Structure 1
Amino acid sequence: MTRIDKKNLSRRSAPSNHEHMAEDNIESIATALVVGGGIGGMATAISLTERGVRTELIDLDPEWRVYGAGITITGPTLRAYRRLGLLEPIKKAGAITNKTRLFRFDGTHLHDLEEPVIEEGLPATGGIMRPVLHRIMQERVRELGISVRLGLTVTALENDDSGVAVTFSDGSNGHYDLVVGADSVASSVRAIAFPHMGPPQPTGQGCWRISIAKPPGLDAGEFYLGHENPCGITACGPDTVYMWMLTPHEEREAFMTEEELFSTLKELLRDFGGNAGWVRDNMTRDNWINYRPLAAALQPRPWSNGRIVLVGDAAHATTPHLASGAGMAVESAIVLAEELTKAKDVASGLAAYEERRYDRCRDVIESSIGIGRLQLDHRPPQEHAALLEGALSRLNDPF
């Protein structure tokens, strides 16, 4: 087994021209393996490396790609990215606004959500294309000199007196002071090391997404309520938006073809006015359209096993109702690094991380599922708006 000699490791810090720099090093660990190169994994690798930990990042995709349309970035999510030092490139590449407007599905304006600025100089909300966000984070990973290995996952993990012995899918071995599972809702790390946990559970809804040109006059995020299939629009750049729609999920024997995706979404939008109607009337078969069923899970505690710990969707997978999946992952990555920095040993740091994150993640997941139930039960849009505003207000609290 290959072991890494901690005495010979050099401590690293963020470049001096970076807008955020971690103040202290983590003294209890020198090496870490982060499994999963998505938002949570990259945020964890960045946070640990900035605090002096020699971090390796692995991802199963040999091309390290990401698929998807846009992503809504709420004020709390922007705050988390600011802590990572990535706010400015996100603002430059995405779209920033100060409000979200609520409409009845026919285009009748209901009211605007209160979205206060939660920190000086921090935008209230915004959006960005998911592949663009990943490229911004990947650039930061490379800038920090983090070791990245692709086409790789873990097949065995074993805690010992000094860390975690790791067997990789290519047959190689390693040894690390800490292993972080950030490998999505279908986490291999969770399956190997956390037998008390299980896969996320279906919520009964599915989510449609389409990337399309920006409707003329759109100047804020938009929600369309009061229909059995609520939808919304988020600007992701000067000329680009993505629209989402939530529908009751129906099991199918096969994936829908591109033609089926197009024709079905167009039909689902038949009753909508406003910019949602504009999307229906202007969508073409060249637009990227996707559908997936929704599932969520707040994994039972503990979230750590020895020196193995979970972050992001591996521990707290949510639905898109509060646009907070990415934000929760980034927050968890930051909190993990902060608590390890403050703690006298790894065990107490992991316990403090879990204690600090559990209730906040539970609130996001329970509120998101609750909004989905209101939609499935065809409750009035005012009930939907009240639950949404309450949850978003709580998200503004410090994490």
Structure 2
Amino acid sequence: MVSGKKILIVGGGIGGMAAAIRLAELGGAVTLIDLDPDWRVYGAGITITGPTLRAYKRLGLIDEIEAQGAITNGSVIYDHDGTLLHEMDEPVLEEGLPATGGIMRPVLHRIMQARVKTLGIAVRLGLSVSALANRDEQDGGGVDVTFTDGGTGHFDLVVGADSVYSGVRRLAFPHMDEAQPTGQACWRISIDCPPGFTKGEFYLGHDHPAGITRCSGDKVYMWMLTPHIHRDEHYSDEELFVMLKERLGDFGGNIGWIRDTMTREDWINYRPLAAALQPKPWYVGNIVLLGDAVHATTPHLASGAGMAVESALVLAEELDRADSIADGLLAYQERRFDRCRDVVETSVTVGRMQLEGGSAEEVGTMIGDALHRLAEEY
């Protein structure tokens, strides 16, 4: 049910591009649209766990990620003062597949954008959808689409991969709600690699858990989770610099090195966290959701990107072997729901434990157990 079908992907982020790539490889006539006229992405690096690396390998992009990102052979957990607690047990999922790694988010997007262009996928930018209407089977089925520029089109399938703020979800899924704030926020800073840094590092046992991921040969990004401070206006760059430096005050190890080395030229981002596992059904007629639009998670398991790519691969696989689009969408939903629920619920629980002062051992065990579950086939 893919070859020759007209498919519209709404959202040109990680999930949308992954779906576009795989569905086009299976013979779908794919159109990808994104609201940003320049198809940009902002942000620091992202951690790529073993399950995410496996998903990118199956998407055919692992070689580019290894070449342009950074692959490491594991992670280490420290107390916030830099005292070694233990090595994180990160299972190797396949022979020759690294355990973990990282990459700058803009670099990852450029890798995926290049594959989209190589496949000849039609890309339209500065555009989204303003209306969606499923046709009855007696009228030929499919979805009538009205675009935000006033244009229209008809597609056999519409995939909403348009972020946690999904417009497709608002238009076609009235039983779903917006993602809910978790009470935490995430700080990120991109900076030069600390001397001797070789593995990913987690710093726990503090009100503000933090960590470091290598993203290239000479760059890392550091993250820190804090209770979210509500205010109406955005923080200035100067405020972000001062506040982050203060919050890193009693950290040791490489976090302390970053605190003492960071400058106002280093890119800093502050983002409140929100999460939601949307209730079934994840599809209505021939309209379906994936990625943050339907299973938005927090960064505690470093699995948001991995879950989006997995969902894209499963959607394509189930559609390709189904006798009808409806059968394929149902199989996709049932195959993904419990796995995505595990990621979202575990991540939110870890965040709540951190806000409530849970011990480093408890938090580390919960994260390690979840990574072992994610190591299982999806």
Give the superposition deviation at 1:254: 1.3
Q: Distance in 2 between matches of 1:226 and 1:75?
A: 25
Q: Distance in 1 between matches of 2:5 and 2:127?
A: 22
Give the superposition deviation at 1:297: 0.1
Q: Can you list the C-alpha shifts for 1:260-314, whole angstroms capped at 9, x where unaligned?
A: 0000000000010000000000000000000010000000100000000001000
| 2:2 matches 1:26 | yes
Q: Which residue of 1 aligns with 2:298?
A: 319
Q: Which residue of 2 aligns with 1:91?
A: 66
Give the superposition deviation at 1:26: 2.7
| 2:336 matches 1:357 | yes
Q: Distance in 1 between matches of 2:5 and 2:281?
A: 23
After superposition, the CA RMSD in angstroms is: 0.7
Which amino acid letter does the alignment assign opposite residue 271 of structure 2?
Answer: R
Q: Distance in 2 between matches of 1:59 and 1:292?
A: 22
| 2:263 matches 1:284 | yes
Give the superposition deviation at 1:50: 0.5
Give the superposition deviation at 1:252: 1.1
Aligned with 1:296: secondary structure?
A: strand
Q: Can you list the C-alpha shifts for 1:133-160, whole angstroms capped at 9, x where unaligned?
A: 0000000000000000000000000000
Which amino acid letter does the alignment assign opposite residue 362 of structure 2?
Answer: E
Q: Can you list the C-alpha shifts for 1:42-89, whole angstroms capped at 9, x where unaligned?
A: 000001001000000000000000000000000000000001000000
Give the superposition deviation at 1:329: 0.2
Q: Can you list the C-alpha shifts for 1:107-163, whole angstroms capped at 9, x where unaligned?
A: 000000111210111111000000000000000000000000000000000000320
Q: Distance in 1 between matches of 2:364 and 2:119?
A: 42
Which amino acid letter does the alignment assign opposite residue 135 of structure 1?
Answer: R
Q: Which residue of 1 aligns with 2:226?
A: 247
Which amino acid letter does the alignment assign opposite residue 245 of structure 2?
Answer: K
Find the partner of 2:24 among 45, 49, 65.
Answer: 49
Which amino acid letter does the alignment assign opposite residue 56 of structure 1?
Answer: T
Q: Distance in 2 between matches of 1:157 and 1:373?
A: 37
- Structure 1 unaligned blocks of 5 or more: 1-24
Q: Which residue of 1 aligns with 2:131?
A: 156
| 2:102 matches 1:127 | yes
| 2:375 matches 1:396 | yes
| 2:161 matches 1:182 | yes
Q: Which residue of 2 aligns with 1:72?
A: 47
TM-score with structure 2 length normalisation? Answer: 0.98
Q: Number of aligned pairs?
A: 374
Give the superposition deviation at 1:379: 1.1
Q: Which residue of 2 aligns with 1:337?
A: 316
TM-score with structure 1 length normalisation? Answer: 0.93
Give the superposition deviation at 1:239: 0.3
Find the partner of 2:360 among 366, 381, 389.
Answer: 381
Which amino acid letter does the alignment assign opposite residue 220 of structure 2?
Answer: V
1:218-257 map, 5 Å? 218-257=197-236
Q: Which residue of 2 aligns with 1:82?
A: 57
Which amino acid letter does the alignment assign opposite residue 2 of structure 2?
Answer: I
1:141-220 map, 5 Å? 141-160=116-135, 161=137, 162-220=141-199
Q: Distance in 1 between matches of 2:369 and 2:144?
A: 44
Give the superposition deviation at 1:216: 0.3
Which amino acid letter does the alignment assign opposite residue 153 of structure 2?
Answer: G
Q: Distance in 2 between matches of 1:252 and 1:195?
A: 29
- Structure 2 unaligned blocks of 5 or more: none
Find the partner of 1:306 among 274, 277, 285.
Answer: 285
Find the partner of 2:112 among 116, 121, 137.
Answer: 137
Q: State the 4+ residue runs in structure 1 displaced beyond 6 angstroms.
A: none
Aligned with 1:192: secondary structure?
A: helix
Give the superposition deviation at 1:250: 1.5
Aligned with 1:48: secondary structure?
A: helix
Identical pairs, percent:
66
Q: Distance in 2 between matches of 1:276 and 1:334?
A: 36
Which amino acid letter does the alignment assign opposite residue 14 of structure 2?
Answer: I
